[in-house]
Amino acid sequence: MKKILVALLTCLSLCSFAQDKTMAELFKTMPDSLLPYLSKNNRLDMLDFMAAGMKAEVVNLLDGKSEMLVLNSDSLSIRLNSIVQLDMKLIILDTPIDSSKIGIRVHRTYTINENQTEHITDEYSSVWHLLQSHVERSSLLLRDDRLLQPATYF
């Protein structure tokens, strides 16, 4: 009976933790280095504009316009510029130790034209530690990492 009670209390605390961590709160705590287009003030302004029902557009740090398109309790979408779209989603991390930890999946889409696109997905812990990163699909002509590698002739 004790084990069942402890398991129930653990589940309830994890559920309340998951409900406390909304996308807006995680977006506020996102390090500037992960989204260099937007300062913390830009991010806070976007959240305030969305809450007020206004168009959530700000002038980014490169003097362009960035707009938050969608904000829900578990996801958001931002058009950083005409080429880059950023989508974020809360996820449950599947770890061997604990399968109930909250994480963030960040999906970036780079679209230069219809023939040149790249999709990159990163997963972070709820405190913004990178867990994994991979390129899902790329049709860019040459990736930077390939340009930096020495040429092989065999």
Of 108, 103, 96, 109, nearest in space to 131 by CA: 103
> Which residue has 């961590």 as its token pair?
21
Per residue, the 3-state secondary structure of the chain, as one string, reads: CHHHHHHHHHHHHHHHHHHHCCHHHHHHCCCHHHCCCCCHHHHHHHHHHHHCCCCEEEECCCCCEEEEEEECCCEEEEECCCCEEEEEEEEEECCCCCCCEEEEEEEEEEEEECCEEEEEEEEEECCCCEEEEEEEEECCCCCHHHHHCCCCCC
pLDDT value at residue 8: 45
Residue 50 phi/psi, 5-degree rounding, is -65, -40
Per-residue pLDDT of the chain (154 residues; tens, 9 = 90+): 555 544 444 444 444 444 458 999 999 999 999 999 899 999 999 999 999 999 999 999 999 999 999 999 999 999 999 999 999 999 988 765 445 588 999 999 999 887 788 899 999 998 999 999 988 766 655 555 554 555 554 4
pLDDT value at residue 1: 55
pLDDT value at residue 112: 84
Residue 129 CA to residue 47 CA, distance in Å, equals 23
